Chains A and B, each alone.
Chain A
Amino acid sequence: NAGVTQTPKFRVLKTGQSMTLLCAQDMNHEYMYWYRQDPGMGLRLIHYSVGEGTTAKGEVPDGYNVSRLKKQNFLLGLESAAPSQTSVYFCASSYDENTEAFFGQGTRLTVV
């Protein structure tokens, strides 16, 4: 049982480049989330989805876009990367908003 899988695990981008982070879950969860984790800041919600075809903004959505075309996948896009987007990105999924969230192993992104 893979749970939540993030691709890639590491990436270095130049300022202005674009990339897509992929999250896949095999637990048939409706809810999926993208967080970023920075030192001293905790996990901050970027975007989330409550079901296939839906997306919504979280606490820090600027500079990111998301898509949920299939229930099992949640994509996070950076159209024009900035050094301020250097962070560790975590995807998570849950059955509903009040049940346990399962996290992926994280993607370490550095923007130079």
Chain B
Amino acid sequence: QKEVEQDPGPLSVPEGAIVSLNCTYSNSAFQYFMWYRQYSRKGPELLMYTYSSGNKEDGRFTAQVDKSSKYISLFIRDSQPSDSATYLCAMKKVTSYDKVIFGPGTSLSVIP
């Protein structure tokens, strides 16, 4: 079993829809949770960064962490064609020698 699982998609939604992207993980030691957005043929860029459980909102984006279920989500409201990209979840333990573990990514297309 991989440490971080993510449905690869592709996910296709109409413009304006609410998008839900999810990751599950197996190691309860993860404390830092991140979402990266990667446009085609570009490097990933950080979208959201949360520590431990709870919600974090930034504009149209909301990141949610449920540590009891080992489940994290990214919600995109009023999705736009410019949101079409691959979304990578990532997570890290607290100890400094543990590095970030990335999920395989979910491909999202927002259709005008």
Chain A contacts to B: CB under 8 angstroms: 4, 33, 40-45, 48, 58-59, 90, 92, 97-98, 100-106
Contact = CB atoms under 8 A, between A and B. Distances in A.
Contact of B104 (A41, A98, A102): A41
Interface of B: 4, 6, 8, 32, 41-46, 49, 88, 90, 92, 96, 99-100, 102-105
A48 B100 CA distance: 12
B42 A42 contact: no
Contacts of A41: 104
Contacts, number: 45
The 4 closest A-B pairs by CB, nearest first: A103-B43, A43-B102, A42-B104, A42-B102
A106 B42 contact: yes
Contacts of B41: 105-106
A104 B43 contact: yes
B55 to A, nearest CB: 20
Contact of B4 (A42, A48, A103, A106): A42
B29 to A, nearest CB: 15
A90 B8 contact: no
A43 B88 contact: yes
Contacts of A33: 99
B43 A90 contact: yes
Contact of A43 (B8, B44, B96): B44
Given A40-B8, A42-B88, A100-B49, A106 B99 contact: no
B92 A98 contact: yes
Given A43-B44, A106-B42, 4 more contacts: A42-B4, A58-B99, A98-B92, A104-B43
